[in-house]
Amino acid sequence: RLADEDDELSEVQPDAVPPEVREWLASTFTRQLATTRKKSDEKPKFRSVAHAIRAGIFVDRIYRRVSSTALMQFPPEVVRVLKTLDDWSFDVFALAEAGNCQPVKYLGYDLLNRYGMIHKFKVPPATLETFLTRIEEGYCRFRNPYHNNLHAADVAQTVHHVLCQTGLMHWLTDLEIFATLLAALIHDYEHTGTTNNFHVMSGSDTAMLYNDRAVLENHHISAAFRVLKEDDCNVLQNLSRDEYRELRTLIIDMVLATDMSFHFQQLKNMRNLLTLAEPQVDKSKALSLVLHCCDISHPAKRWDIHHKWTMLLLEEFFRQGDLERELGLPFSPLCDRNNTLVAESQIGFIEFIVEPSMTVCADMLEIVLAPIAPITCNASSSAGATASSAANNTSSSNSSNNSNNNNNNNNNNINSNTNVNNNNSSIKSTTNTLSVPNNNTNNNEAISSGAESKGSSSGTAAEAPASQSGTTPAKNGSADPNEKPNRFKIRKPWTTCLAENKKIWKEQAVRDAEARAAAAAAEAAAVAAAAEANESSDGQPTADGGTEEPKPDEPDTN
């Protein structure tokens, strides 16, 4: 495996990136020590959708009547920000500002409510609120600039975008969606703001506990599940034993896959799988790749958001470098605040890590979703009626539950601001975003990979319904001649953002290089001037303009 990773990294030619950036890529995205991790090739056994609704209608009604009375209240400004939750470049910083720096609490609750998880798995709303609050506190424990509650919310929102805007949710069971959302929310829980390598090199207690293997990732999982074992935080209390084991296994697989040292091997395995004539993609591996890509997706977001994340991440790196200096450890790559090439590091990160990851992930999604496209189309065609029914049910529920409180149409209960699934009409049937072949066209072309570049430079073209863009054939003859006909395709709003951000960084790299050259020239001139001044002060000037040799000391005649 290490040899395979070396082959992948060899594509980064020595003259393509500075040595410091190459060293960072090698130390972060490969395993420098040979390790083996046995994983069963046996596919997990997933429960049928029918089994997920085995509870009787009578029990559901009782639960709905009891639990819906305690739904969490959302501030009006938070509700306003969450209206853009489906956008690719959703601004989690705006959510944090609107929600008193509690983005995990509000976004996590909203997502689990939108997908109907609260109802389907009988999660007590008060318990969910307590759980999310505890998770939020854990993310804030070390006051990290980057790996904090905003990052957790950002990754969870990006996962949501992939689930609903590509149609991936239609490939998953409700339990798998529940596991995916929870994994995104807890994937960096209690992050220390330092890397796995720092833990190993400094011999931290956490590294000792997990034997130097996926140190942080193991801690995130273990600590989060310890929270889930507490009665007032156990949002899994009503899962059956089999459901719990399946969900826990999925979460463990997904979060462990966010260990960056497995990056190249993970991509290579998926590439090899997708080259098969009839690839059978394991759901655990697919979801692991999705979470990994969402975890490193900030360079694929709008520039202002990406730049803010970059500065925060570098500050976290620099703080680690300060610790390394104090401990007498060598600087980790990009951790020396006095000697780091910011623009070059981001160019390397985009070109060799993010772009290939997003490409492989998109290829995988198009392959696994193609067979279910007709099913998704039928579900989307009834979205209007289903959404209306869900809204009516929600309105009636709110009216009966809150009549004593004289609530009006401005009620900020999240149940009245989102499509809640208190019946069998889930978000799966209300999302009208998955493109499918159009039987009324000659070539059945789905969404082209370049569709998002025509919408806006911010890369949010995925907001438009698939029925409005992408289901008609291209008229300008600009289709890729190598593209297979009738191939199912998804929107890729990240491609535009990646291209634009890389262009900006390259322009910045040129300016930085010019500034360094000017500074070096100025320093050289200053050194030369100082040397000349020293030479002129070594002797006294003579009448002819020369210098007089200093006289030797007179001998003592006394």
Please check whether residue 349 is in contact with residue 299, taking contact to mean a CB–CB distance below 8 angstroms. yes
Cα–Cα distances (Å) from 444 to 171, 262, 390, 464, 486, in that order, read 21, 38, 32, 19, 6
- What DSSP character marks residue 40? -
- As a whole number of angstroms, the distance between CA 252 and CA 249 comes to 5
Q: Is 541 helix (H, G, I), strand (E, B) or coil?
A: strand
- As a whole number of angstroms, the distance between CA 269 and CA 519 comes to 46
Alpha helices in 30-146 (DSSP H): 57-67, 76-82, 92-98, 103-114, 117-120, 125-139
Q: Which two tokens stand for residue 201?
A: 């090199």
Annotated binding residues for AMP, written as ranges, equal 147-151, 188, 295, 346
* Helix (H) and strand (E) counts in the chain: 24, 2
First to last CA, the chain: 86
Q: Which helix (H) or strand (E) holds 548?
A: strand 547-548
- What DSSP character marks residue 462? G
Annotated binding residues for Zn(2+), written as ranges, equal 151, 187-188, 295
Which listed residue (147, 191, 219, 220) is catalytic?
A: 147
Annotated binding residues, written as ranges, equal 147-151, 187-188, 295, 346
Alpha-carbon torsion angle 24, 27, 29, 32, nearest 10: 160
Q: Is 191 a catalytic residue?
A: no
- As a whole number of angstroms, the distance between CA 90 and CA 313 comes to 19
Q: Which positions ≥6 away from 238 have C-beta within 8 Å?
A: 121, 122, 123
Question: Long-range CB contacts (< 8 A, 24+ apart) of 47-55?
Answer: 47/173, 47/175, 47/242, 47/243, 47/246, 48/173, 49/173, 49/174, 52/120, 52/173, 52/174, 52/175, 53/424, 55/122
Kindly list the catalytic residues. 147
